[in-house]
Amino acid sequence: MRRFAAAALVAASLAACATPEPAPAPAPAGPDRMVLQPLSFDQLAGWSEDESARVLPALLKSCNRITKLPLDKSVGFEGVGGTAADWYAPCAAAQRVADGDHMAARILFESWFTPWRVTNGGRADGLFTGYFEPEIRGSRQRKAPYIHPIFGKPNDLVVTGSGEQAIGRMENGRLVPYYTRAEIDKGVLIGKAPVLVWTDDPVDLAIMQIQGSGRVRLDDGSVIRLGVAGSNGHKFVGIGKVLKDEGKLGADTSMPAIRAWLKAHPEEGRTLLGRNPRYIFYGFNTGGEGPLGTEGVALTPERSLAVDPRFVPLGAPVWVDSIDPAGRPLRRLMVAQDTGAAIKGPVRGDVFWGAGEAAFQVAGKMKSPGRLVLFLPRARSPRLAER
């Protein structure tokens, strides 16, 4: 489960509500199956134009994690990324590239990595969406207008095993589903869960829950970060789909348009938000650098990508060839550092655009076709390199 965004299924929301771009072809019948096709670097459109050194801070964070693993530890599902030992030399080389030296960064990747086209059973086209780190207003004390609680994990939340179906609460000696969003919004958790902070806008809070983690700018001027600590275990229902089914939106069904409608119709919006039974609980994120992805490293704006780890190894560099919400080519190096419950399949990505309103405006409108190239060390362990 994505520590930052996946826990809240951002991509499901955006995929259900973003302004349509040219849609990828229908997915192939049958289960997803990654097939890797070798490429040369001159086959990557835009390769020489990307400011490649900008990806190195993200890569070095992942290198720091991978190189602490046992030497024979497999990287990625079924060892598609070789072993941790295969990454030592590329990671050491990355440390020697000077900040801002894009030519040296390209030489690094061309020298130490092999690009592989990722396909789903031979089909190269996929879908790319976006997510961001929200910033909302808050106060440590309940006082007008800060009257909406942001809850930590409740003391009566029971997790009996792995998987969200095992989450609930005890009632009359038996485990029952936990309270829904609608019930929580009516105040059922007061006294059952700690209130970490109070916010002034339930719509902004709901959007933060869709994204996952976020920042709260307090009324004393300080900023705190909150990370996902758990959920109530209910299935996510995208508010975009709810509003579309109700005929509440016009041609613009992007996330910014959805937010505007919800704020313009607070009472009806609160009722419709309640149709998403899923609710996110928070804890304080004291890391400081930024929101944490599933890999356990702070995400880098415009260079971190959420992927399906059943196919793409976390920590691996990837080349994204897609389109941004303004219709411009989006061709750049990123690093697979996060996951998402709605990010499914080999050719599927969710671009982390950063924090705040500007990032929201981009992430909330992104739903673009694209292709993905996976960079793997040239010297992968032979027993794992075959796929």
Give the list of residues 6+ apart from residue 174 with CB closer than 8 angstroms, or none. Answer: none
pLDDT number for residue 167? 86
d(CA 139, CA 218): 5
Instruction: Give dist(CA 24, CA 275) in Å, integer.
Output: 29
Q: What pLDDT sits at residue 166?
A: 60
Give the pLDDT of residue 251: 80
CB contact set of 44 (below 8 Å; sequence gap of 6+)? 115, 319, 321, 331, 373
The yes-or-no verdict on residue 333 having pLDDT over 90 is yes
Instruction: Sort 159 into a burial class: Cβ within 10 Å, 0-12 / 13-18 / 19+.
Output: middle
DSSP-derived letter for residue 378 is S
What is the per-residue pLDDT for 227?
A: 87
* Amino acid residing at 387: R
Question: d(Cα 115, Cα 373) in Å, to the nearest integer?
Answer: 6
CATH fold group of domain 146-217+229-284: Ribosomal Protein L25; Chain P (2.40.240)
What does the pLDDT average to over 138-142?
97
Side chain identity at residue 39, one-letter code = L
Residue 183: the pLDDT is: 96
Alpha-carbon distance of 335 to 316, in angstroms, equals 6
Using an 8 Å Cβ cutoff, are 323 and 95 in contact? no
Domain ranges for the chain = 10-130+290-374, 146-217+229-284
Q: Check residue 52 and give its pLDDT.
A: 96
Q: How do residues 359-385 score in pLDDT, each as one tens digit?
A: 999 998 999 999 999 999 998 875 444
Topology classification of domain 10-130+290-374: Barwin-like endoglucanases (2.40.40)
Average pLDDT over residues 153-168: 78
Burial of residue 241 (CB within 10 Å: 0-12, 13-18, 19+) is middle
CA–CA distance, 224 with 291 (Å, rounded to integer) = 11
Identify each DSSP E strand in 121-222 by its residue range: 126-133, 135-139, 148-151, 158-159, 167-171, 174-176, 195-199, 214-218
pLDDT of amino acid 162: 57
Residue 237 or residue 1, greater confidence: 237
* Secondary structure (3-state) at 74: strand
Query: Closest by alpha carbon to 364, among 14, 9, 6, 126?
Result: 14
24 CB-side CA count, 13 A? 21
Position 2 scores a pLDDT of 45
**Residue 54, token pair as written in the block:** 């900008």
Is the distance from CB of 321 to CB of 331 less than 8 angstroms?
yes
- pLDDT recorded at residue 147: 96
pLDDT digits (tens, 9 = 90+) for 227-284: 888 899 999 888 988 998 999 988 888 889 999 999 999 999 999 999 999 999 999 9
85-111 per-position pLDDT tens digit: 999 999 999 999 999 999 999 999 999
pLDDT value at residue 125: 97
For residue 375, what are its two tokens? 């960079």
Q: So what's the pLDDT on residue 308?
A: 97
Peptide bond into 145 cis (omega under 30): yes
Two tokens at 22?
């040219």
pLDDT tens, position by position, 186-221: 999 999 999 999 999 999 999 999 888 899 999 999
Mean pLDDT of 72-82: 93
How confident is the model over 9-44, as pLDDT tens digits? 333 333 333 333 344 444 455 799 999 999 999 999
Residue type, 158: V
What pLDDT score does 170 carry?
93
Per residue in 339-356, pLDDT (tens digit) is 987 899 999 999 999 988
Taking the CB of residue 132, how many other CB atoms lie within 10 A of it? 28
